[in-house]
Amino acid sequence: MDASGLSPALSPPLTESRSAPAWRARLVEFLLVGGITPFLFPLAWLLRRAVGLDDAQLAVGFTTFYAAHLINDPHFSVTYILFYKRVHARAFGTEYSAAQRARYIAAGFVVPVALAAWAVIALRTKSPHTLGLMIQLMFLSVGWHYVKQGFGVMIALSARRGVRFTKTERWAILAHCLTGWFYAWASPFDPGREVEEKGVVYMTVRHPHGLELATHVIFLLTIIPLAFVLIRKWRREGRLPIVTPLVALLSSIWAWSIYSSIDPVVVYIVPALHSIQYLYFVWLMKRNQARELEGPPHFVSVNVRIVTIALGAVLLGWVLFHGAPSFFDDAFVSKRAALDSPLGATPYFAAIYAFVNIHHYFMDSVIWRRENPETRYLQAA
């Protein structure tokens, strides 16, 4: 889930249903969008005390590795299902405005072609530097995606509770998000190191001296306007029922991005927490859309539509992260030559993994904009 510029995802006022969800539903929502995060740290501490750090990391790492088939991988693949549905009407018809059509064509066609060309050049030339740059762009865009998703969730959930933010207030929130992303990227200081990712050994881009400190100071300073606008809004409007939206925002920035490695066990779970937050909004949008289409002339139940999307996302996720990479690496990479290659034994896996991560961000910047007519389904309870 993402947003772009001053038109944040789902930023227009959203009306809440007259019958407020039961407290159980609100509790579930709180946990799914990030509220479970603070509880994981004491649980991880107890697990380390009970079985030791090594066994705790092994157990959690093993669990999250296989859970990725049902959580992390579908979070990426469902974006393709959402994005490329009715592709001709969206790219060339009247479903989108001219500006939104331009964004759609750029994200849906220009970006993947450019990324594919980048990957092919890296693989054909066997250049760890070229593929390493793509991987570093992936990390840069992933951090941006995390904090922008937190921003979009904050705005959307607040609006569902009747709390709407002015442009100035949104700027204050967005500044905290973006400076948090920049500090997370700049920390720790990187003098230019040889690293390995998905079997590819490459040199990182060196960070300037003082960048970590400067971005940290700027990030901490944005806490002041963020607190100011929230307190002023509470005093002016007399109520600010945004505990869940605020926890979702701060979890995305502080726990999942900046200080994600503060606990050696919880760090394994962070991608799943981000994915669950994303999938909750996919479910919310598609459930309400399915309710509208449940009657004539379609007569397809909500459950059937949701299960169909879920199964499609799981299957496509397997293809993107397991089936296709394994096929190409087995077909085109000599295992004997890979032992001495800086690209390792799975360069196609590394390239496809980076491709999907980067492309995911660009597609999200179209799907979750207010210009997308389907975001209106997030208004319903």
Helices (H), the chain: 23-30, 37-51, 53-67, 72-83, 87-92, 98-105, 111-124, 128-160, 167-186, 211-221, 223-237, 243-250, 270-292, 302-318, 324-332, 335-338, 347-367
3-state secondary structure of 317: helix
C-alpha to C-alpha distance for 234 and 290, rounded to whole angstroms:
36
Instruction: Give the C-alpha separation, 314 to 359, whole Å.
Output: 18
pLDDT attached to residue 321:
97
For residue 226, pLDDT beyond 80? yes
pLDDT per residue as tens digits for the range 190-216: 999 999 999 999 999 999 999 999 999
pTM of structure: 0.91
Task: Reply yes or no on whether the pLDDT at 349 is more than 80.
Answer: yes
Q: Using one digit for the tens of pLDDT, what is the confidence trace for 7-17?
A: 444 444 444 44
